[in-house]
Structure 1
Amino acid sequence: MTRLSPLKSILLTLLVVVVLAALYFTAREYRVIERLWFNWHVFWQSTDAQALGLDEFEVVVEGKVIEGLDDVSALSYDPQRKTLFTVTNKHPELVELSLDGQVLRRIRLTGFGDAEAVEYISPGTYVISDEHGQRLIKVQVDDTTVALDARQAEQLTLGVGAGGNSGFEGLAYDNQGQRLFVAKERKPVQIIEVRGFPRANADPTNILEVTSSRQRDAGLFVRDLSSLQFDERSGHLLALSDESRQILELDTQGRPVANVSLSKGSMGLERSVPQAEGIAMGDDGTLYVVSEPNLFYAFRKK
């Protein structure tokens, strides 16, 4: 039997170490273990756990260009106005859209930094997130609003992990539980719960509580988070991932129970959604998605 020289043995060992390290970091980056665990869990669970029936949705509006916009980010449904709201960050604006993706009005934003998410809270009240500054900013909007200045608004700064382009990408609000869910994009992927902001009144004794769940975050097998949507009827949370091209359904315990792909062929899509940045759900259960730079999608159950 031919023996390897000491040098060749060292080189072979180094090669094995490099390959194993590459496999480890690839598995960690793409959340392979978490995905395998999710698939095993879904295989054995009852279909009742998948409250929203994501696999039953089909695209009805695909990749419609939102005229006049070039960097949409996030999406929120206003049940009073029966419209959608999004934000832009290159030229900061809060934009109101019709349910078929038409621009209804544009509200100029001043001092909001890198606005990445918007969420409806109550009639005329919204929260906008500043990704770089990790700020949550409460704003009031009515039919006459044409501009908003962050300096005149109630704000909350959360120094959670890394800033920069790994900050707050998505918001969702649980009206009954009075919880604001905040999606941290990456490093690590994280969902934060905030109670006590925005304040419902001027009560100075208002208690602020910020929590997160390591167990829930560890089960998120997506590479990033770009938007959130809370379903009041089931108590489930939808998490949108741009890089993984997935919509993930989390149950009331924060466990993934279902998912659907935003790639070509899924839900009747003729093309993959290129960069999904916002998700919202209407009163009738229609799912709306926006993708940078200015694409609009709508999905309804078959």
Structure 2
Amino acid sequence: MVRAALHSSRPLYKRWYLWTLLVLLIGYIVAVVLHWDDRAELWVQEWTQNSAQRKASIWLPDYKAVIDGKHLPGMEGDEASDITYHSGTRTLFAVMGKNPYLTELSLQGDVLRKMPLNGWKNPEAVTALPDGRLAIIDERQHQLTVVKVDADTRELNIADFASFDLGPSTDQNKAFEALAWDPHNQRLLLGEERPPALFSLKLGSDGQPTGEKQRLNAPDLDMRNLSALAVDPRTGHRLLLSADSHLLMEYDEAGKQWSFMTLLGGMNGLKDTIPRAEGVTIDDEGTLYLVSEPNLFYVLRKQ
């Protein structure tokens, strides 16, 4: 009877063993795909940072949402693609990708004006330049255009401005989607969406892009795609946003990871997961502003 009992238990044990292996294998694959292993390593690195190092960085773990998913009225079908802080007007400018618009917002996410971008096909990135102009990337046309917007501007025509050809990308359908002004090095930073990569581009004395873009030597960007870029004017650190990874990461100029923020519900004061974060910017006081498709607006401040 003992032998019979042992014999009958063996198939159950084998099934349990196989199911355990399958669950562990699936868990491992999910962890690698979602970079949980890398997140764990970065968490450990964060714990070892002392207070002085944290003060010298943006330090994303200390940020909490103070405006959480505010709907931008009338833009449900426009698909918010990027956002930038304009220090001259102390307002925000956002580009809409599906229906090309440039929208000016207050720091609380109130719509001040909505300007059609005539001639743009798919504007995906925008950044404010030190002279007050704006640079806009059209991902589909693979070009960058520097435009001037004043208080009387009601629409923009691409034919009125010079455009710079950004050249081919590794994946032409997932090309340049990120753009930021780097005040510490007086240059533009550009980012390819997939595979994620960073480039720099200088502006000439006329304020227009000049020369060839230069690929930046940096470690592998630890994210599935690159949606947006921002540079902190205080520290010079870079913020890299990934919609696919639900992740905002802080790097220094040498490519060292300093901190990160997961854009999931329940984290950093977010009630719900940010559905598809496409744009990020930071003002001169360190406040973060994000936009997500279709028309969601977020503000996060350091507590």
Decide whether aligned partners of structure 1 residues 44 and 283 sit closer, same or farther in structure 2, where only a CA change above 3 A counts: closer
Q: Which amino acid is 1:213 matched to?
A: L
Q: Distance in 2 between matches of 1:100 and 1:92?
A: 22
User: Which residue identity lines up with residue 212 of structure 1 in the other structure?
Assistant: R
Shift of 1:109: 0.8
Unpaired segments ≥5 residues, structure 1: 1-20
Aligned partner (choices 65, 72, 80) of residue 66 of structure 1: 72
Aligned equivalents of 2:105 and 2:246: distance in 1? Answer: 23
CA distance in 2 between partners of 1:230 and 1:193 (Å) = 13
Q: Does 1:191 align with 2:192?
A: no
Q: 1:261 to 1:28 in 2, by over 3 A?
A: closer
Cα distance change of structure 1 residues 222 and 202 upon mapping to structure 2, 3 Å threshold: closer
Instruction: Tell me the residue number matched to 1:11.
Output: none
Distance 1:108 1:245 in 2: 29
Question: Normalization by structure 1: what TM-score?
Answer: 0.83
CA contact (8 A) 1:49 1:257 kept: no
Alignment of 1:1-302 (within 5 A): 29-31=33-35, 34-35=38-39, 38-39=42-43, 41-46=45-50, 48-50=52-54, 51-70=57-76, 71-158=79-166, 159-164=168-173, 166-186=174-194, 188-196=195-203, 199-201=204-206, 208-216=211-219, 218=220, 220-302=221-303
Give the counterpart letter for 1:171 in structure 2. L
Contact 2:86 2:132 in 1 (8 A): no
One-letter code aligned to 1:142: D
AA aligned opposite 2:97: N
**Which amino acid is the alignment partner of residue 262 of structure 1?**
L
Q: Matched residues in 2 for 1:127 and 1:103: separation?
A: 20
1:200 to 1:107, Cα distance in 2 relative to 1, 3 A: farther
**Pairwise CA RMSD of aligned residues?**
2.7
Contact 1:66 1:295 survives alignment (8 Å)? yes
Matched-pair contact (CA < 8 Å) for 1:84–1:99: yes
- Cα distance in 2 between the residues matched to 1:29 and 1:211: 29
**Residues of 2 paired with 1:202 and 1:288: CA distance?**
26
1:24–1:61 CA distance, 2 compared to 1 (3 A): closer
Distance 1:24 1:58 in 2: 31
How far apart are 1:163 and its partner, in Å?
1.3
CA contact (8 A) 2:232 2:286 kept: no
Identity of aligned residues (%): 34
Residue deviations 1:81-126, cap 9 Å, x none? 0100001122211110011111101111122221011100034311
Range with greater deviation from structure 2 (279-288 or 258-267): 279-288
Shift of 1:160: 2.4
2:228, 2:300 → 1: CA distance?
16
Unmatched 5+ stretches in structure 2: 1-24
1:213 offset after TM fit, Å? 3.1
In structure 2, give the amino acid aligned to 1:210. K
1:259: how far off?
A: 0.3
Alpha-carbon distance, 1:78 to partner = 0.4
User: Between Structure 1 and Structure 2, whose CA radius of gyration is higher?
Assistant: 2
TM-score between the two structures when normalised by the length of structure 2? 0.82
Q: Residues 119-165 of structure 1, C-alpha deviation per residue, up to 9 Å, x if partnerless?
A: 0003431110011222111111111112212222122222221112x
